[in-house]
Amino acid sequence: MNDRITLDYGSGGLKTSELIESLLLPAFDNPALSQLGDGALLEGNKKLVFSTDNFVVSPWRFPGGDIGKLSVCGTVNDVCMAGGIPKYLSLSFILEEGFLFSDLRQIVTSIAEEAKKAGVSIVTGDTKVVDSGKGDGIYINTAGIGFQRVDLPGKAAIRPGDDVIVSGTVGCHGAAVMMARSGLISEESPLRSDCMTLHRISAAALDAAAVNDGAEPGSVRILRDPTRGGVATTLNEFTEGMSFSIELNENEIPVESAVDAACDMLGLDPLYCACEGRMLLVCDPSVTENILNALHTVPGGENAARIGTVTEEMPGKVLLRTPIGGRRILTKLTGIQLPRIC
């Protein structure tokens, strides 16, 4: 193999086979993939969850992860947030001519490691190569299939009095990528992307809600990972067009000091910075304590907190109560605060 990707590797011919057999098959070894058919044959289930994401993050390597890890987490998390147990992933590369093989190998290793952690198999895929100047090194698409674990009622079931929980500190991914892109981050900086798979976090929360004797089914209304647009935009998607509002307590929102410092430097707001390993959850207050206790025992959930409540005060809006007692409206992200963050 040469040390750089050439257009041949996307031809569908000999070089494509070589890439598949020398790099991809060994990394993702499983029976469905090794059939090398046009499609993978899989054991199914009555109810499926299906999700997809493109990953175009720049730079592709950032503190706490790389585009490979991100491409597994992003889709696994979407499946989890829709109430599914992730099972299978497809994996597609768009490589730019000239991309280093050593970098591709490293990304493939990240993908394999993260998929193993999440218990998902990479069962089908595709590789295309575009001419130099028509891409940016590497873009990845993953699509994920999960089996439905729970039928979440969704935002229509949210009621005044419900609690809003976040599973950890917010904005780390966006802040880390932007600092890396700006070249401002130092080796010693504690700033790291929160990029991680949420399958344990979401399972812990759903189990905790279910064991509460008093809880009705549907006490967890909705799960969502606040990626592009951050916590503020995701919560706006909950309230949009609805008869309730969400009021956040700025004091209770966990933000790492390194993220605060980075956001100050870059002129960003942590509430609009993408997370790639955090879960937002709205639930009946009767299960809040159980859920928080459960989350605190799961790696990555140590900082889980109730950050706000559902009110009726300004239907359709998300409000932030500041430490000095003021309140401001948080709108959806407008404009390009953070392009190519995932």
Q: Which positions from 309 through 338 interact with a copy of itself, judged by CB under 8 A?
A: 331-338
Query: Does position 244 bind a copy of itself by CB under 8 A?
Result: no
Query: Which of 36, 24, 18, 196 has the alpha carbon at shortest distance from 93?
Result: 24
Query: Does position 126 bind a copy of itself by CB under 8 A?
Result: yes
Q: Which is nearer to a copy of itself, 130 or 210 (CB)?
A: 130
Residue choice 71, 124, 193, 197 for contact with a copy of itself (CB under 8 A): 124
Q: Which is nearer to a copy of itself, 123 or 290 (CB)?
A: 123
Q: How far is the CB of 6 from a copy of itself (least distance, A)?
A: 8
Q: Which is nearer to a copy of itself, 41 or 184 (CB)?
A: 41
Other C-beta atoms closer than 10 Å to the C-beta of 132 total 14
Query: Does position 68 bind a copy of itself by CB under 8 A?
Result: no
Contacts to a copy of itself from residues 8-47, by CB under 8 A: 8, 10-17, 35-47
Q: Which is nearer to a copy of itself, 166 or 290 (CB)?
A: 166
Binding to a copy of itself by CB under 8 A, coded x per residue (else -) over 193-222, reads ------------------------------
Q: Which is nearer to a copy of itself, 54 or 189 (CB)?
A: 54
Q: How far is the CB of 126 from a copy of itself (least distance, A)?
A: 5
The footprint of a copy of itself on this chain (CB under 8 A) covers a number of residues equal to: 86
Query: Does position 122 bind a copy of itself by CB under 8 A?
Result: no
Binding to a copy of itself by CB under 8 A, coded x per residue (else -) over 149-188, reads -----x----------------------------------
Q: How far is the CB of 5 from a copy of itself (least distance, A)?
A: 12
| DSSP secondary structure, 158-206, as one string | --TT-EEEESS-SSHHHHHHHHHHHT---TT----------HHHHHHHH
**CA gap 1, 14 in Å, rounded:** 12
Q: How far is the CB of 327 from a copy of itself (least distance, A)?
A: 21
- What residues contact residue 322 under an 8 Å CB cut-off, 6+ apart? 250, 328
Name the residue type at position 26: P
Residue choice 25, 48, 203, 314 for contact with a copy of itself (CB under 8 A): 48
Query: Which of 322, 5, 320 has the alpha carbon at shortest distance from 135?
Result: 5
| DSSP secondary structure, 88-115, as one string | EEEEEEEEETT-BHHHHHHHHHHHHHHH
Contacts to a copy of itself from residues 127-156, by CB under 8 A: 127-131, 133-136, 139, 141, 143-148, 154
Contacts to a copy of itself from residues 77-96, by CB under 8 A: 77-79, 81-84, 88, 90-94
Query: Does position 63 bind a copy of itself by CB under 8 A?
Result: no
- What residues contact residue 329 under an 8 Å CB cut-off, 6+ apart? 314, 317, 318, 319, 320
Query: Which of 242, 165, 234, 244 has the alpha carbon at shortest distance from 206?
Result: 165
Side-chain half-sphere of 54: how many Cα atoms within 13 Å? 6
Please answer whether residues 144 and 79 qualify as being in contact, where contact means their C-beta atoms are separated by less than 8 angstroms: yes
Side-chain half-sphere of 137: how many Cα atoms within 13 Å? 16
| Residue found by looking up tokens 């064991």 in the block | 211
Q: How far is the CB of 278 from a copy of itself (least distance, A)?
A: 13
